[in-house]
Copies of this chain bind each other. A is one copy, B any other.
Amino acid sequence: MSIAAIVGAGLVGQGWAIVFARAGWQVRLHDVDADRLPEACDLIERQLHALQAHGLLQDAAGIARRVEAAVTLESALAGAAYVQENSPERVEAKRMLFARMDALTGPDTILASSTSSIPASLFTGDLVHRERCLVAHPVNPPYLVPVVEISGAPWTSAQAIARTRDILNAVGQRPVVVRKEIEGFILNRLQGALLQEAMRLVRDGVASVEDIDTTVKDGLGLRWAFMGPLETIDLNAPEGIADYCARYGAMYASIGASQSEAPAWDAALLETLSRERRAALPAEELASRRFWRDEQLMRLMRHKQRSGDNDG
């Protein structure tokens, strides 16, 4: 049985533990603060039972038994084929942690970081076996949102990228490869582009916060939940994507020219955003709405499993 070491037992680490254990891997969960481990294991087991209740997995108890607390980093990493690091976003701490992990593992072990903001080149450059180090950035929670962004440093080997892709595919994730180190990788760059336009529309009084959200959830987001934006436009012109670009390129160029300046996320804008969101959802209901969101996400993933709409 393959062994995955999860280093850092917060929310992200717990999510990764579920991903690997669900796929039949033996999971060793480690945290620099060993006192966190019992609670983390409890939370993992509770989440597994919630997933089972939604028909998203079977044998939650058996899966939970594959997650083992490892009090020392040494014991976590011994024999691991794959290590996923989830420590706070501090480059110096990651550099030291990766140095220790590099020394404690054989050269074929993949050392992956969950960082969303620090390129692998900033904390792996001095390692003896830096060619097997990379970023594998998940979305929260990874056991429900399958995309993982793989981003290597310039010295990361093609084999390490390919093996990570294979491993993540095998455990049910949807890895994508970021071919050059770039801020925000793919996901946050796409999200950022959309958010900047949303902010512009709010700032300029063109649309309410609610109407922007409606435009996505009852419009754009419906197709994007089972096709990407490029397949969407490929199907939206008779001859495919080049035909679409020929028909609508001038319109998007003209719109694009008015989107060049990123709006300031200043006090006035934040005040508008907060006022409209808190009118729609009072602060005291944020927590329950997060449960609603997770519930919707579980139902949607169950629906996608049944519809087989990831094919093609």
Contact = CB atoms under 8 A, between A and B. Distances in A.
A177 B219 CA distance: 14
Contacts of A273: 230, 241-242, 245
A278 interface: yes
A217 B261 CA distance: 28
A139 interface: yes
Interface string A135-150: 0000100001111010
Interface stretch (A43-51, A77-85, A287-295): A287-295
Contact of A180 (B204, B215, B220, B252): B204
A265 B197 CA distance: 20
Interface residues of A, number: 104
A239 B301 contact: no
A205 B233 contact: no
A296 interface: yes
Contacts of A194: 190, 193-194, 229
Interface of A: 117, 139, 144-147, 149, 174, 176-180, 182-184, 186-198, 201, 204-209, 211-231, 233-235, 238-242, 245-246, 249, 251-262, 265, 270, 273-274, 277-278, 280-281, 283, 286, 289-290, 292-293, 296-297, 299-301, 303, 307, 309-310, 312
A300 B274 CA distance: 31
B215 A149 contact: yes
A224 B228 contact: no
